[in-house]
Amino acid sequence: MTEHAAFMQQALELAAQALFLSNPNPRVGCVLVAPDGQTIIGQGFTQQAGGPHAEIMALRDAAARGHSTQGATAYVTLEPCSHHGRTGPCCDALIQAGITRVVGAITDPNPQVAGQGFARLRAAGVEVIVGPGGEASRELNIGFFSRMQRGRPWVRLKAASSLDGATALGNGQSQWITGPEARADGHTWRARACAVLTGIGTVLADDPQLNVRAITTPRQPWPVVVDSQLRTPPSAAVLKAGSACHIYTSAIKPAETEALQAQGATVIAKPAANGQVDLAAMLHDLGQRGVNELHVEAGATLNGALLAQGLVDELLLYLAPKLLGQGTRGMAAWGPLEQLDEAIALQLHSVTPIGADLRVLARIQTA
C-alpha cells in the first residue's frame, strides 16, 4: 500500500479543496497517473452539487493537457459512483477513458453505490485496490457517512468559554471572550457545515445571522432555528442571512407560519409529547433534506437538550486564557447527575492553539 500513499495523499489534498463547496455531495479528489506509474496526467475535485465529480474533473484536466488516459491509474478518495443522479456514473466514465487500475480510499456508504462502483469496474477488467487513505477520507466526509449510515447529520456543538468555565459575565456580556483568530476559525467550521442550528432564545436575545462572514466561502449554510412556539419575528436577521432559513416548531400557528414563509423561511412542525420540538425527528428530517454536518451555536437550554438526548457527536470548544470569576457558567443545562459514572464521556480528538486561545475537539464516546 505504501507505493500508493503519495498519490492518494495528493488526492486527499484535492478533496479538501471541496470542503466548503460540494455539500451535500461528499468531498472527493482524484489523481490520474500515467502507465509509467510516476507522471500525473490529470487531477480534480468534486464541484458544487449538480456539477462534475472529481473523476470527471480529472479526466477533463488530462484532456486539456493533451494526455491520453489509456492504461492510466486513477487514485480516488471515495468509490466512484455507479448510479445516475444529477450526473452520470463516474465508474463508467473511467472505464470509457481506458483506465486500467483504480485505487480507491474507501467504499461509498451511499446505498445507491455501496460497492457497486468497484464491482462494475472489476467486471470491466479494471484492477481495483481499496484501502489507502480510507480513514482520512472518512474523516473528511464524516457528515456524509453519518447521513448515509444513520439517516441524520453529524452534530457538532460549538461553544466558547474562559478557562474557569464562564460563557458570559454576570450581566450577560459575552462578546468577545475569545480572540479574532478563534472567531474566524469558528466561521471556518460554520462554512464546512450544511446548516447552522440555534434556539429561539438566542434569536430573541442576540438576533444572530448564523452565516459565514469571517472567511470567503462559495456557499452559505442554512440557518436552522428550534422554535417550539413560533416566536421568531419576521424581522429576524436569521431570515435575511442569504440562505434558506428552516424553523422547527411544535405549534400550529397559521398566521405566524404565513408571516415567516413570506420572508422565505421553511416552517416544519415536529412536535414532541412534552410540547417541545422532537429533536431526534428534526435531525432525521434534516438528513432527509441533505444535511451532512450540523453546526450548533445555541444557548445552554438547547445544548443541554441535545446532549441529554444523546444527539451530539462532538464538541468544538474554544477556551480563552482568562478568568471571568462569577459569570454565567455551563454551556449546557442538563442534569443534575447523581453519580460520576453518569457523566458523558469524551475522547479528545485534537487540541490546537488558535491565536491566543485553545481549540478542543472532543468526541462523545460510544459503547
pLDDT band at 3 (very low <50, low <70, confident <90, very high): confident
Query: In the prediction, which pLDDT does 85 show?
Result: 65
pLDDT band at 350 (very low <50, low <70, confident <90, very high): very high
Provide the CA 42 distance to its chain's centre, in angstroms: 28
Q: Where are the beta strands (DSSP E) in 64-208?
A: 73-76, 101-104, 127-130, 154-162, 166-168, 195-199
Residue 114 has pLDDT above 90, yes or no: no
Contact predicate 312/154, CB 8 Å: no
pLDDT for 216-247, tens place per residue?
888 999 999 999 999 999 999 999 877 789 99
Strand partners, 358: 319, 353
Could you tell me which residue, 24 or 114, shows the higher pLDDT?
24
How many angstroms separate the CA atoms of 81 and 30, rounded?
A: 13
Residue 173 has pLDDT above 70, yes or no: no
In DSSP notation, 126-138 reads -EEEE-TTHHHHH
Q: Mean pLDDT over residues 30-47, rounded?
A: 94
User: Average per-residue pLDDT in the chain?
Assistant: 91
Query: Percentage of residues in the chain with pLDDT exceeding 90?
Result: 74
Q: What are phi and psi of 135, to 5 degrees?
A: -65, -40
Residue 62 has pLDDT above 60, yes or no: yes
How many angstroms separate the CA atoms of 186 and 359, rounded?
A: 10
Q: Mean pLDDT over residues 2-24, rounded?
A: 92
DSSP 8-state assignment for residue 174: -
Q: Mean pLDDT over residues 101-109, rounded?
A: 94
How many angstroms separate the CA atoms of 297 and 299, rounded?
A: 7
Q: List, in order, residues 6 or more apart from 72 with CB less than 8 Å away.
A: 32, 33, 34, 35, 41, 62, 97, 98, 99, 100, 101
pLDDT band at 82 (very low <50, low <70, confident <90, very high): confident
Query: In the prediction, which pLDDT does 165 show?
Result: 83
pLDDT band at 2 (very low <50, low <70, confident <90, very high): low
pLDDT for 269-322, tens place per residue?
999 989 999 999 999 999 999 999 999 999 999 999 999 999 999 999 999 998
How many angstroms separate the CA atoms of 119 and 134, rounded?
A: 18
In DSSP notation, 243-299 reads S--EEEES---HHHHHHHHTTT-EEEE-B-TTSSB-HHHHHHHHHHTT--EEEE---
Query: In the prediction, which pLDDT does 64 show?
Result: 96
Query: In the prediction, which pLDDT does 1 show?
Result: 53
Residue 175 has pLDDT above 80, yes or no: no
Query: In the prediction, which pLDDT does 367 show?
Result: 64
Count CA within 13 A, CB hemisphere, residue 226.
27
Contact predicate 244/266, CB 8 Å: yes
Contact predicate 290/144, CB 8 Å: no
Q: Mean pLDDT over residues 7-15, rounded?
A: 96
Residues that are catalytic: 55
pLDDT band at 327 (very low <50, low <70, confident <90, very high): low
Contact predicate 226/272, CB 8 Å: no
pLDDT for 128-138, tens place per residue?
999 889 999 99
pLDDT for 143-166, tens place per residue?
999 999 999 999 999 999 988 888
Reading the block at residue 329, the C-alpha cell is: 457558567
The type of residue at 338 is E
How many angstroms separate the CA atoms of 206 and 335, rounded?
A: 26
Q: Mean pLDDT over residues 186-208, rounded?
A: 95
How many angstroms separate the CA atoms of 255 and 252, rounded?
A: 9
Query: In the prediction, which pLDDT does 111 show?
Result: 84
Query: In the prediction, which pLDDT does 334 show?
Result: 82
